[in-house]
Amino acid sequence: MIYAGILAGGKGTRMGLQDRPKQFLELGKRPIIIHTIEKFLLVTEIDFIIVGVHPDWVGYTEDLIEKYLSSYSDRIVITEGGHDRNATIENIIKTANNINTLSDEDIIVTHDSVRPFVSIKTIQENIRLASKFDAVDTVVEATDTIVQSLDNTLITEIPERQFLYQGQTPQSFKMIEFLTLYNDLSQEQKEVLTDACKIFVISGKNVALANGEYSNIKITTVTDLKIARSMIEDN
């Protein structure tokens, strides 16, 4: 089976919000998270969409699904997120196992709830590549020169841009393999390795690149939200 895992466990601290996490802010006439879920509903290959939400906001999210997506509620499951990104993925996978006992071939396409402009093409490419490789990371080519500074004062390296990419989501992989690799990490490693694909990379697994799009922005700051609202108005 193929699952989508929507990561919505954040509380919007970088947005400077006090009343609600950024994924619940209005974009057009609907919350950001609803736009994101709708993209995955359009992908017929996906059997279930599991949304990992901060425990304080599970009921609120369920109300949003009932309000905006009630006709698809049989494909959408809300579960509590974890204390960080990978812990949320772990909880989502455990929820998937409760829906239907997992097999080695079952795939999850994980995606940030605040990336509502992901394309169906990108999601489908993730699914295709995840069936051939150990994991998939969605990327776009780096357009700016990347400067490295190990002490935050002086430049230590300027890598060749032709070999650099900017990571986005979705990130996709077989669920049982993720759990195996994740559970093999020490607690200290779990706290450092917050990117799921990096866990596969350091474990010597083959992580394929899926073509992302520059429009697949992550709404993290107030400026991002203004850009996203202008993109909605242009469509």
State the pLDDT confidence band at 123, using cuts at 50, 70 and 90: very high
Give residue 114's identity as a one-letter amino acid code. V
**C-alpha–C-alpha distance, residues 62 and 227, integer Å:** 27
Per-residue confidence (pLDDT) for residue 10, from 0 to 100: 75
Structural element, H or E, at residue 207: strand 207-211
Counting the structural domains of the chain, the total is 1
What is the per-residue pLDDT across 186-207, written as a single tens digit (0 to 9) for each? 999 998 998 999 999 999 999 9
Per-residue confidence (pLDDT) for residue 142, from 0 to 100: 95
Give residue 202's identity as a one-letter amino acid code. I
- pLDDT at position 12 over 70: no
**C-alpha–C-alpha distance, residues 130 and 145, integer Å:** 30
Mean pLDDT confidence for 112-129: 98
Mean pLDDT confidence for 156-166: 95
Give the closest residue to 179 by CA, choosing from 168, 190, 169, 188: 190
Name the 3-class secondary structure at 39.
helix
Which DSSP letter does residue 223 get? Answer: H
CA dihedral 212, 121, 219, 46 (to 10 degrees): -120
Per-residue confidence (pLDDT) for residue 27, from 0 to 100: 95
State the pLDDT confidence band at 19, using cuts at 50, 70 and 90: confident
Mean pLDDT confidence for 114-137: 98
- pLDDT at position 15 over 70: no
What is the per-residue pLDDT across 49-108, written as a single tens digit (0 to 9) for each? 999 999 999 999 999 999 999 999 999 999 999 999 999 999 999 999 999 999 999 999
Per-residue confidence (pLDDT) for residue 25, from 0 to 100: 95
- pLDDT at position 120 over 70: yes
pTM of structure: 0.94
CB atoms within 10 A of CB 155: 10
Contact 175, 108 (CB under 8 A): yes
Per-residue confidence (pLDDT) for residue 20, from 0 to 100: 84
Domain CATH for 122: 3.90.550.10
Mean pLDDT confidence for 142-163: 95
CA 120 to chain centre: 14
Domain that holds residue 87: 2-234
Give the closest residue to 227 by CA, choosing from 68, 117, 112: 117
Per-residue confidence (pLDDT) for residue 129, from 0 to 100: 98
* 78 backbone dihedrals φ, ψ, rounded to 5°: -105, 135
Contact 196, 86 (CB under 8 A): yes
> Looking up tokens 């960080």, which residue turns up?
84
